């Protein structure tokens, strides 16, 4: 066997295994009889690079996948790519100095695909280096026809079921991105704006109206008051005149009006916010759309037409103030809806869009069948479901996305949705192979595309074989994901799986936290707390980064990246390597009968297996790895190996072979327990020991080995002896004159003799001991203050007395001294007596442990 290096060379070991591993051992076997464990992994958005946050989440998935695989499950750890979307489009525009409308749709799409492919290549590299056990036979990319045919199929099927429809309806709109967005993509943030008080002319005098959005004046369709507002009763049912634009609108009564806000009158516009939409629908008001798709004012805004919303706000406020219509202004704190991708304030526009019907009670019902880890995350989904007012708007006015498989008849304008057998298709490139109901065969393609969540919300179905396999593997077992996408990815997946197959998507959902910078803030380049996984691969290796992910905290919590954890991980790897390097030439499996100390270690190992298994079952990876580290460091290295060194180096025989076997088993088991966390180091150790890969082995099973009390007692005696030597300032390997251990457990002495490097005798029962006073120690601090100038003489007298006599007097309550005939009475604390313990006439030190009394000859 070649000599192992003293220092653990993580780089050499990790790169070697990354090159030589056969990834097909991680493939899901569709024919297997083993129980399945399919993980509905998140398809990341492939732009930029694989970052620490990805690393954290993928480590969690890998820990679970490797553990379940070793436990005998047929595991699928697929890897998808959620390719479509705006950030890629924007990047393509920037890189090529174009806007999406300057090149043909197909050309633009190709540029997006190319950029995405490059990003996927980078992700592949990082993922391989991190040692992830991904099943590459189940890789998917949502931009590929093999995948988007599934998205289109789901669209067609849900449309047939009446769960997808097209309608003119107010939608959230990002003017910068130029597209509709779903409610789930609106973020709210508080901003300070201005509340403007205006005069409106009524039939009978003037009313006051307060608004923060004077630019929506041309979109005003009514004003409203609370029906019980006594101040304004006479206006209800009448009309008022909209200033500047000079048209009349009705005065409505509605209980949703807050009388205490502003003047108590509220302006209803189409649309300032969601409340406007509610009023607009309830009161059947007309539509006056004043803002267009690009965020500019429409002709209805008269002189402001063509200006942006912001420009209009400024100009119209100035005009209204000059004309005395605005007569008061005050600051206003309000929640503003922002586009979650670009943070631009959203507008609400009425548009023809495609919608998915949301059945919130049904989604809540399914969510209850799923195990939520941690459980409180379930509430977030329930709260979101309860807040649903509108259906899910799924059409987007973009290019790089799954095409909506539909056309419109040029003659009768009827929409024609594709049939399943025509898919996949892009309606811009393909005409439908049949005529419209009206007989026309001229169609206009649907140019809108699908929300990317329409792709990713069928991920569970797709990996489970939908729609082609007859043995659909639903539900899958686990969905790992971040808490930031509960209301999107989790919600939509439950919705879609239910709508398409009437089943829950997963048995359990594991919610992970975010990786933070070392300072506890979100990692960002501007805060200078940004770490790339590659930096850690270079400095400490992938196993160290994986250990940080495991030990940084329990899943669900946000976890700061910490170099000190990386350093601790490397130290642990070096420790384990040193143990391994020491052990390798000395160990071998055998069937020799184990001694007390060996049985103690086996029981400790058994407890470790139980503890680790139980923690892994609960996804508490930090608990599992902490238990492994404690065992390796304290139990194995500091105690067991120290105890059995003498046997290992000693003469051949059953005792030696028992130690060789026990240590071999401990290392072999540790390598398996650590395989999910440190796949490289574990492989290096396991492969050296057995010639096989640790990653096709089974998870260790506890043998029900009872704790060996005698072995445990020996371990405790050994630690006590070590401490004794340290306190006495004696080198650990220097011999002691002799040791006798008394215990009812009939302890084996060989290992103790080895660890103490001294003869050890084992006896049952209790030692018979004699306490002999041997010296007097006068206490100056007691004598001095009381006897002053006599002190020195008292001390001399005490020193001359028999220590046994003084001990007796102390017991009686006072000590008498004779100073040349003058008898003085001293308090008992004036002198201490040193007692020596004797056993069979010999002086000994006594050390006590829970199960033993140890006599050490002096």
**Which residue in the block uniquely carries the two structure tokens 């059995």?**
644
Strand stretches in 307-445, DSSP E: 326-339, 347-356, 371-373, 392-393, 395-396, 406-409, 415-417, 443-445
Out of 65, 115, 141, 174, the residue judged to bind Zn ion by CB under 5 A: 174
Which CB atom, from 430 or from 705, has the smaller least distance to Zn ion?
A: 430
Tell whether the torsion through CA atoms of 786, 788, 792 and 794 is positive or negative: negative
Which CB atom, from 175 or from 679, has the smaller least distance to Zn ion?
A: 175
Which CB atom, from 395 or from 758, has the smaller least distance to Zn ion?
A: 395
Structure tokens at 294: 């690009």
The footprint of Zn ion on residues 659-698 (CB under 5 A) is none
Minimum CB separation from Zn ion for residue 157, in Å? 23
Distance in angstroms (rounded) separating the CA atoms of residues 97 and 803: 101
The footprint of Zn ion on residues 808-827 (CB under 5 A) is none
The footprint of Zn ion on residues 327-356 (CB under 5 A) is 339, 341-342, 344
Minimum CB separation from Zn ion for residue 178, in Å? 8
Stretch that binds Zn ion, among 390-398, 440-448, 620-628, 762-770 (CB under 5 A): 440-448
Which CB atom, from 337 or from 711, has the smaller least distance to Zn ion?
A: 337
Question: How far from 654 is each of 388, 588, 641, 748, 787, CA to CA, in Å?
Answer: 73, 12, 17, 14, 70
The footprint of Zn ion on residues 828-847 (CB under 5 A) is none
Distance in angstroms (rounded) separating the CA atoms of residues 614 and 624: 8
Minimum CB separation from Zn ion for residue 435, in Å? 8
Structure tokens at 23: 């990834």
Minimum CB separation from Zn ion for residue 175, in Å? 8
Which CB atom, from 176 or from 522, has the smaller least distance to Zn ion?
A: 176
The answer to whether 498 touches 504, Cβ cutoff 8 Å, is: yes
HSE-CB at 12 with a 13 A cutoff on CA atoms is 5
Minimum CB separation from Zn ion for residue 398, in Å? 11
Out of 25, 287, 438, 707, the residue judged to bind Zn ion by CB under 5 A: 438
Which CB atom, from 104 or from 433, has the smaller least distance to Zn ion?
A: 433
**Which residue in the block uniquely carries the two structure tokens 């990246």?**
561
Out of 51, 176, 365, 581, the residue judged to bind Zn ion by CB under 5 A: 176
Minimum CB separation from Zn ion for residue 238, in Å? 41
One symbol per residue from 269 to 308: x for binding Zn ion (CB under 5 A), - otherwise; what is it?
----------------------------------------
Minimum CB separation from Zn ion for residue 412, in Å? 3
Among the listed residues 82, 40, 158, the one whose alpha carbon sits nearest the alpha carbon of residue 498: 158
Minimum CB separation from Zn ion for residue 570, in Å? 43
Which CB atom, from 413 or from 571, has the smaller least distance to Zn ion?
A: 413
Which CB atom, from 414 or from 484, has the smaller least distance to Zn ion?
A: 414
Minimum CB separation from Zn ion for residue 432, in Å? 11
One symbol per residue from 521 to 560: x for binding Zn ion (CB under 5 A), - otherwise; what is it?
----------------------------------------
Minimum CB separation from Zn ion for residue 87, in Å? 10
Q: Under the criterion CB under 5 A, does residue 177 sit at the interface with Zn ion?
A: yes
Distance in angstroms (rounded) separating the CA atoms of residues 267 and 284: 15
One symbol per residue from 380 to 409: x for binding Zn ion (CB under 5 A), - otherwise; what is it?
-----------------------------x
The footprint of Zn ion on residues 443-482 (CB under 5 A) is none
Type and span of the H or E element at 140: strand 139-141
Burial class of residue 24 (count of CB atoms within 10 Å of its CB; 0-12, 13-18, 19+): exposed
Burial class of residue 757 (count of CB atoms within 10 Å of its CB; 0-12, 13-18, 19+): middle
Minimum CB separation from Zn ion for residue 359, in Å? 28
Among the listed residues 36, 101, 123, the one whose alpha carbon sits nearest the alpha carbon of residue 72: 36
Which CB atom, from 241 or from 397, has the smaller least distance to Zn ion?
A: 397
Which CB atom, from 442 or from 744, has the smaller least distance to Zn ion?
A: 442
- CA 738 to the chain's CA centroid: 56
Minimum CB separation from Zn ion for residue 116, in Å? 20
Kindly write down the DSSP assignment for every residue of 410-434, as one continuous string. TTT--EEEPPGGG-S--TTT---SS
Which CB atom, from 234 or from 410, has the smaller least distance to Zn ion?
A: 410
Out of 436, 464, 616, 675, the residue judged to bind Zn ion by CB under 5 A: 436
Minimum CB separation from Zn ion for residue 618, in Å? 40
Q: Name, in order, each residue with C-beta under 8 angstroms of 323's C-beta and a sequence gap of 6 or more.
A: 243, 244
Minimum CB separation from Zn ion for residue 295, in Å? 10
**3-class DSSP string for 262-304:** CCCCEEEECCCCHHHHHHHHHCCCCCCCCECCCCEECHHHHHH
Among the listed residues 485, 486, 495, the one whose alpha carbon sits nearest the alpha carbon of residue 392: 495
Minimum CB separation from Zn ion for residue 450, in Å? 17
The answer to whether 116 touches 46, Cβ cutoff 8 Å, is: yes
Distance in angstroms (rounded) separating the CA atoms of residues 718 and 723: 9
Q: Name, in order, each residue with C-beta under 8 angstroms of 443's C-beta and a sequence gap of 6 or more.
A: 407, 408, 409, 410, 416, 427, 431, 432, 436
Minimum CB separation from Zn ion for residue 340, in Å? 8
Strand stretches in 561-663, DSSP E: none
Distance in angstroms (rounded) separating the CA atoms of residues 263 and 197: 8
Which CB atom, from 439 or from 841, has the smaller least distance to Zn ion?
A: 439
Type and span of the H or E element at 186: strand 186-202
Stretch that binds Zn ion, among 133-141, 433-441, 516-524, 546-554 (CB under 5 A): 433-441
Distance in angstroms (rounded) separating the CA atoms of residues 37 and 102: 47
The answer to whether 551 touches 622, Cβ cutoff 8 Å, is: yes
Which CB atom, from 176 or from 772, has the smaller least distance to Zn ion?
A: 176
Which CB atom, from 318 or from 344, has the smaller least distance to Zn ion?
A: 344
The answer to whether 415 touches 166, Cβ cutoff 8 Å, is: yes
Stretch that binds Zn ion, among 136-144, 167-175, 237-245, 642-650 (CB under 5 A): 167-175
The footprint of Zn ion on residues 136-155 (CB under 5 A) is none
Minimum CB separation from Zn ion for residue 321, in Å? 31
Q: What are phi and psi of 855, to 5 degrees?
A: -105, 130
Minimum CB separation from Zn ion for residue 527, in Å? 23
The footprint of Zn ion on residues 196-215 (CB under 5 A) is none
Per DSSP bridges, beta strands 266-269 and 220-225 are antiparallel
The answer to whether 658 touches 650, Cβ cutoff 8 Å, is: no
Which CB atom, from 302 or from 345, has the smaller least distance to Zn ion?
A: 345
The footprint of Zn ion on residues 404-423 (CB under 5 A) is 409, 411-412, 414
Stretch that binds Zn ion, among 7-15, 312-320, 436-444, 562-570 (CB under 5 A): 436-444
One symbol per residue from 82 to 121: x for binding Zn ion (CB under 5 A), - otherwise; what is it?
----------------------------------------
Which CB atom, from 347 or from 708, has the smaller least distance to Zn ion?
A: 347
> If binding means CB under 5 A, how many residues of this protein chain bind Zn ion?
14
Stretch that binds Zn ion, among 96-104, 249-257, 278-286, 429-437 (CB under 5 A): 429-437
Which CB atom, from 178 or from 374, has the smaller least distance to Zn ion?
A: 178
- CA 711 to the chain's CA centroid: 41
Which CB atom, from 173 or from 619, has the smaller least distance to Zn ion?
A: 173
Distance in angstroms (rounded) separating the CA atoms of residues 344 and 173: 10
For Zn ion, the binding residues (CB under 5 A) are 174, 176-177, 339, 341-342, 344, 409, 411-412, 414, 436, 438, 440
């Amino acid at each position: 066997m070649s000599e192992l290096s003293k220092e653990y060379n993580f780089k050499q070991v990790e790169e070697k295994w990354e090159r030589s591993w056969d990834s097909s051992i991680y493939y899901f076997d569709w024919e297997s009889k083993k129980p399945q464990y399919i993980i509905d992994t998140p398809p990341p958005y492939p732009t930029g690079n694989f970052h620490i946050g990805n690393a954290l989440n993928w480590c969690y998935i890998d820990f679970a996948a490797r553990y379940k695989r070793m436990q005998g499950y047929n595991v699928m750890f697929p890897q998808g790519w959620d390719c479509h979307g705006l950030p890629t489009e924007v990047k393509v525009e920037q890189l090529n100095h174009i806007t999406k409308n300057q090149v043909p749709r197909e050309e633009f799409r190709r540029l997006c695909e190319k950029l995405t492919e490059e990003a996927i290549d980078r992700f592949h590299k990082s993922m391989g280096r991190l040692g992830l056990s991904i099943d590459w036979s189940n890789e998917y990319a949502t931009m590929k026809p093999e995948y988007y045919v599934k998205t289109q199929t789901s669209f067609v099927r849900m449309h047939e079921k009446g769960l997808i429809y097209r309608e003119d309806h107010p939608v959230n709109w990002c003017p910068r991105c130029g597209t509709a967005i779903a409610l789930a993509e609106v973020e709210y943030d508080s901003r300070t704006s201005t509340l403007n008080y205006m005069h409106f002319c009524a039939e009978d005098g003037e009313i006051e109206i307060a608004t923060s959005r004077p630019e929506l004046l041309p979109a005003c369709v009514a004003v409203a008051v609370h029906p019980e507002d006594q101040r304004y009763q006479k206006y209800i049912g009448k009309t008022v005149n909209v200033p500047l634009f000079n048209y009349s609108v009705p005065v409505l009564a509605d209980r949703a009006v807050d009388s205490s806000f502003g003047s108590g009158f509220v302006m209803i516009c189409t649309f300032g916010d969601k409340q406007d939409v509610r009023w607009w629908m309830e009161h059947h008001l007309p539509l006056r759309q004043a803002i267009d798709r690009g965020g500019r004012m429409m002709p209805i805004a008269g002189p402001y037409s063509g200006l942006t919303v912001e420009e209009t706000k400024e100009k119209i406020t100035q005009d209204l103030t000059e004309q005395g219509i605005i007569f008061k202004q005050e600051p206003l704190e309000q929640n503003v809806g922002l586009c979650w991708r670009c943070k631009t304030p959203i507008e609400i526009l009425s548009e023809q869009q495609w919608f998915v019907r949301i059945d919130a009670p049904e989604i809540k019902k399914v969510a209850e069948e799923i195990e939520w880890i941690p459980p409180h995350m379930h509430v977030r989904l329930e709260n979101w479901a309860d807040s649903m007012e509108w259906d899910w708007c799924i059409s987007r006015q973009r290019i790089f996305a799954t095409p909506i498989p539909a056309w419109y008849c040029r003659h009768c304008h009827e929409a024609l949705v594709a049939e399943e057998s025509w898919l996949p298709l892009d309606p811009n490139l393909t005409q439908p192979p049949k005529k419209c109901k009206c007989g026309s065969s001229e169609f206009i393609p649907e140019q809108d595309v699908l929300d990317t969540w329409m792709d990713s919300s069928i991920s569970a179905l797709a990996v489970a074989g939908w729609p082609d396999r007859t043995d659909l593997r639903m539900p899958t077992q686990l969905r790992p994901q971040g808490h930031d996408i509960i209301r999107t990815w989790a919600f939509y997946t439950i919705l879609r799986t239910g709508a398409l197959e009437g089943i829950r998507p997963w048995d359990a959902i594991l919610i992970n936290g975010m990786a933070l910078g070392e300072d506890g803030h979100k990692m960002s380049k501007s805060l200078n707390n940004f770490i790339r996984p590659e930096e850690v691969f270079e400095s400490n290796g992938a196993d160290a980064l994986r250990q940080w992910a495991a030990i940084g905290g329990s899943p669900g919590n946000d976890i700061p990246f910490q170099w000190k954890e990386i350093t601790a991980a490397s130290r642990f790897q070096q420790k384990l390597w040193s143990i391994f390097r020491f052990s390798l030439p000395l160990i071998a499996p055998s069937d020799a009968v184990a001694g007390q100390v060996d049985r103690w270690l086996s029981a400790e190992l058994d407890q470790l297996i139980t503890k680790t298994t139980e923690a892994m079952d609960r996804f508490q990876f930090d608990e599992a790895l902490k238990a492994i580290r404690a065992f390796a460091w304290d139990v194995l290295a500091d105690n067991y190996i120290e105890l059995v060194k003498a046997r290992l180096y000693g003469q051949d025989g059953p005792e030696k072979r028992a130690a060789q076997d026990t240590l071999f088993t401990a290392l072999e088991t540790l390598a398996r327990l650590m395989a999910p966390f440190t796949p490289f180091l574990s492989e290096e150790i396991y492969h050296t020991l057995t010639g096989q890969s640790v990653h096709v082995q089974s998870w260790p099973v506890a043998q029900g080995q009872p704790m060996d009390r005698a072995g445990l007692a020996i371990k405790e005696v050994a630690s006590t002896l070590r401490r004794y030597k340290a306190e006495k300032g004696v080198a650990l390997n220097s011999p002691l004159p002799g040791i006798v251990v008394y215990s009812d457990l009939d302890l084996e002495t060989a290992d103790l003799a080895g660890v103490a490097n001294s003869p050890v005798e084992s006896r049952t029962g209790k030692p018979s001991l004699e306490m002999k006073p041997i010296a007097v120690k006068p206490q100056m601090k007691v004598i001095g203050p009381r006897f002053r100038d006599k002190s020195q003489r008292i001390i001399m007298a005490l020193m001359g007395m028999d220590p046994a006599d003084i001990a007796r007097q102390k017991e009686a309550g006072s000590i008498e001294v004779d100073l040349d005939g003058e008898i003085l009475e001293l308090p008992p604390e004036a002198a201490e007596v040193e007692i020596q313990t004797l056993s069979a006439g010999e002086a000994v030190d006594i050390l006590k442990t829970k199960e033993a009394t140890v006599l050490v000859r002096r």
